[in-house]
Amino acid sequence: EVILAHNSDATVRVIESIDEDADDRSGKVPYTTDFHVIREKLASQSNFLQANLPHQKAGHGPPVFVLKGIHEQPKKVNPSSIAVEAWLAFIHHGIGKLPHHLYAMPPNEVWNVVGVGAEYGICHGSLDGLKPWFFKWYEQNLLQQILARELAFPCFVFDHAEGFMKATKWLAYNCSGHVQESNPTEYRHLHLDPRVFTGAINAARGHLKTVLQRELWGVIEHLYTATCACRKETEFDYQNTLVKLNAWPLERVYQRTAMSTILDRLAKFSFTPATTTCDSRVCQRDFNQVVYKAHDRTSQDFQGLCLDCMRRSRPKNDMTHEDYWRYNYPVNGCWDMGCRFGHGRSTW
């Protein structure tokens, strides 16, 4: 029971199905929360509630309105009570007086706040009012790396530039194989346009491989131009060192290994050519320095996706997605002029 106003004239009831402990076979039990509200405050914020929330009749107590899913499998999906509470508390008390526990909800409930707002058209479909709430929630929950996949969506819809950049950077470096979005709610339609999320991150992943391959392969191409007798042994020993670290051939390793793991392996690279008498400059190169530079360039290559840059460079109509991301890839030039979260900073 949540009392949002002592002079309430309506009750919004949320019946939730709560997951029981995994060892309990009985599955889900319903859990009821009653919100005592002022009808007019809700009705003015949502056409759905205006049309459906009953009026109190003279001589009767406040009517009870059971909030059910309407768009998404109406009979199966019930709204989450904490997500409903976030909206109702905001509408009744304003952004400055939200109860503390709304800042401690898990990320999936943040998705539910977005889903509930969209489902019932609260604040006429706008998230702007709750934006300060999300920013504070983000501060207090510090981006946990394991949750990056779930955080990109709320950071995007609440327009949190720093969070979106960190989450997308983390995903590009720490996922193996094709990156997919993970929606932790039953609002299945909530997801990001592939252009701004999975497509962009997978393009970034591909680019990381290109950079690392170019850096590690360049020295081999030099060996092919050498004429000394020891060049073959040097080339074999160099590649063999990479193979033994399980970092080579990159094309194969990268299919099932995250870039962060490959970079960790390369950090252990140590190789000195067997020859000490070769007068070719190629065999005398500092191979450790070559790999160190490759590591450095690859780990600096992608800073995450910047909401401000993305907004400035909307795709033109005749651009394919691929063109768009090539055009927008933050590699060349100064990208972060006017961006809220500077691109050069790496805080992971």
Nearer to Zn ion, 117 or 330 (CB): 330
Contact 77, 28 (CB under 8 A): no
In sequence order, the 6+-apart residues with CB closer than 8 A to the CB of 39 are 9, 10, 53, 55, 56
Closest contact distance (angstroms) between CB of 155 and Zn ion is 14
Q: Shortest distance, CB of residue 64 to Zn ion, whole angstroms?
A: 49
Nearer to Zn ion, 142 or 334 (CB): 334
Smallest distance, Å, CB 138 to Zn ion?
18
CB 121 within 8 A of CB 50: no
Q: What length does the chain have?
A: 348
User: Shortest gap between Cβ of 335 and Zn ion (angstroms)?
Assistant: 5
For 18, phi then psi, to 5°, come to -100, 135
Q: What's the rounded Cα separation, in Å, for the pair 247 and 253?
A: 6
Q: Which two tokens stand for residue 33?
A: 């929360």
Residue 273 beta carbon to Zn ion: minimum distance, rounded to whole angstroms: 7
Rank residues 7 and 225 by Cβ distance to Zn ion and give the closer one. Answer: 225
**Nearer residue to Zn ion within complex by CB, 15 or 196:** 196
Q: To the nearest whole angstrom, how small is the minimum distance from the Cβ of residue 325 to Zn ion? A: 15
The secondary structure element, H or E, covering residue 112 is helix 107-120
Nearer to Zn ion, 253 or 283 (CB): 283
- Taking the least distance from each CB to Zn ion, the nearer of 58 and 334 is 334
Distance CA 241, CA 248 (A): 9
Phi-psi map region of 142: left, alpha, beta (phi>0 left; psi -120 to 50 alpha): left
List residues binding Zn ion (CB under 5 A): 228, 230-231, 278, 280, 283, 306, 308-309, 336, 339
